[in-house]
Structure 1
Amino acid sequence: MASADLVRESQDPSTTPARLAELAQIDRSLWPAIAVHPAAYPSLLDWLGQQGDPTVNAVLALRSGSSAAAPTPPAAPPAPPVGQTEPTVAAQAAPAAVGTTGDANSKNLWVVGGMVAVVLLLIGGVAFGATKVFDGDDDKDEATSALTVDAPSWTTRPP
């Protein structure tokens, strides 16, 4: 297993081609990093390709632009039996589209319903708070005559 310093060095763009060759001899787990390194020279890449490592060969194929290591496309679906017609592309996509839009519409309906409920609760809370703060009839006097006591007069003597 390569040490972290060797891995860093094999991935460092400033590593020289000669050092890349040394790293390739030191540890084979560094080969994929060396194969993608921009300073790797052609004969080093050829040597890496001759070693038979499938990961390195895939990297080299991608690097050279060949499709040798590219994944193969999926096989075509089998032809329908004689007498049956093949469904159109729209007919094949219709069930998936209906299922996904139904789920999306259902989810959107819940989101909108939740938002409406929150807005109504906020409006109700503000209205309730406003009635508590501003409750009362402004036309009434704060002090009624039944609650007030006449102040003593200094001009009259007590009996």
Structure 2
Amino acid sequence: MDWKVKVVIAGVAVLTVIAVLDRTLGRSESAPSTPSEASQPNPSAVAAIHPTSEQLQEVVRLGLKMRESWQDISVDVDDARSYRLWLTYRKPPKSHGEVERDSTEIARVALSGLVQAGRNPAAERMAISVWARSHESGETGKPLTRLYGRTRYDFNSDSLVYKPAD
């Protein structure tokens, strides 16, 4: 078995342990004590199905070997179907080929982690994107963020698509 697959499986195991701990330490699975509790979803069940940004970020970091040119990988979760990942380079990448390779690899690991957690990205019409950027200084010294491109998940074709930034 490929080491990346093993690491993604380990990441899914981490998500499962977190969900079990949430269930164990949080509200029990017993009957709700009030009628309003009956209509509320169990938070641990939602966490197991809808990973937080921190949980998905951990799965991605476990599934990848950070390259020297990478400064950070972070995750924003807009809602249960929308994940935006940010690859921040230490310095500008050498080519769009490098950006495409890196962002596609990160997207593939994130997508695999979501599938392993029981999600169905195509059926759920999920929005998953990986933006590549670096933090630089402009001509006047003002801090700026330079975008290089992104890889996004196309749920219609169940594929990853790269597009350089304009």
Per residue, is there more helix in 1 or in 2?
1
Per residue, is there more strand in 1 or in 2?
2
Q: Which has the higher contact order (CA 8 A, sep 6+)?
A: 2
Question: Shared fold by TM > 0.5?
Answer: no
Structure index of larger Rg: 1
The two structures have a TM-score, normalised by structure 1, of 0.23
